[in-house]
Amino acid sequence: MSEAFDAVDVIRTKRDRGVLSPGQIDWVIDAYTRGAVAEEQMSALGMAILLNGMNREEIARWTAAMIASGERMDFSSLRPRDGGPANSTGAKPTTDKHSTGGVGDKITLPLAPLVAVYGVAVPQLSGRGLGHTGGTLDKLEAIPGWRAALSNEEMLAQLQDVGAVICAAGTGLAPADKKLYALRDVTGTVEAIPLIASSIMSKKIAEGTGSLVLDVKVGSGAFMKDEAQARELARTMVELGHDAGVNTVALLTDMSTPLGLTAGNAIEVEESVEVLAGGGPQDVVELTVRLAEEMLQAAGVTDADPAVALKDGRAMDVWRRMIAAQGGDPDAALPVAKESETVLAPADGVLVELDALKVGVAAWRLGAGRARKEDAVQAGAGVRMHAKPGAVVRAGEPLMTLLTDTSERFARAQEALEGAVTIAPEGARPARELIIDRIAL
């Protein structure tokens, strides 16, 4: 077939700091998806975008073109129940959360059922871990019987009945992104903010949610280490959401220290259940409640108090129904690692730093994460932390417990933790605020 544009001309436009036209963008995404633009040509264009950027209109059009490469989900058939909230068309409102990923980030697990308590549907399409950042689906698969793969019909039925679903995204959503993401990974263009933002938002917009709250993490354990870059990414994604008609806000949150006291799969599920039972680490509770407030407000529910629903058992009730609806047994014992090893505090003082990246790499090396998408993970592996920054510690006391089924992994995990802990004299500086800023239009 005759092509509307020439790939080399499109590359030259961006190479020379020009603005891509809507027609060029639509064509290059479609042509690349169907194989008419070669991998090396899209690699060159990706590098030109990394170096020269895109304006707001270009990024919005690029995102729309990626959405157009596949299907869009539709939740307009969901109906409010028992006088619950409704959107402007009379349907049950929908809201979602996306985190850019971190260490110990189990927030989705208690958050989805918590928001669903208030009659808002939460279609949470999640992914698997890669490298030092954990994956929500890997955590939930530690629950005996639980399954991640649902058809669109099953997802809709669960949203109507339970109100929340956490599952794998189908292959029909933004297939252009899947192909482009793999290319970025091997061509040094992962860091291009227009491409990061459009990758995330094309899937979230295609998912069909009415509102979206973004948790953009910054710090050693986050994808974005630099706060200025994290702000730019957050602002770009918020703009993309609004341009597509999705009510979108972002929180900039700290990922210099792991969230909670666990980094792994089964142990993070265990900690999430503690939060749903009204307990759990203060930072996990704080971020869960704050994100729930933002999601509910974005969905038009302004009179809710999520902190109360965590304490009184309503969120736990939804969690149990959500897990059971996907074949899981909420009462089943979680897998436990066969081997453990303790890391001791080297000195007396105040723990002022617990490096999230180093803890995440240690958990990964213990078997909680994967180096390649096809790798298996150990459900019981990970790092259990006994102190967080601000805590007073004594030499010889346990700081962390390392967990794995394969004891030969301990040595490399210990290597990863070298320099992870900083202990200073008592009265040292306090920990950084968990929630750094809120970004909205």
Active site residues: 98, 177, 184, 199, 203
Rounded CA-CA distance 49/67 in Å is 19
Return the closest-CA partner of residue 103 out of 140, 136, 133, 144.
133
Query: Strands 421-424 and 122-126: what pairing?
Result: unpaired
Query: Strands 382-385 and 339-344: what pairing?
Result: unpaired
403, 288 Cβ separation under 8 angstroms = no
Rounded CA-CA distance 399/258 in Å is 14
213, 100 Cβ separation under 8 angstroms = no
Return the closest-CA partner of residue 294 out of 251, 355, 347, 240.
251
The tokens describing 220, both together, are 């050693």
Residue labelled with tokens 């993401």: 181
The total of other beta-carbon atoms located within 10 Å of residue 278's CB is 14
Return the closest-CA partner of residue 147 out of 329, 316, 334, 317.
329
Please, which residues bridge with residue 126 across strands?
A: 168
CA angle 105, 223, 367 (to 5 degrees): 55
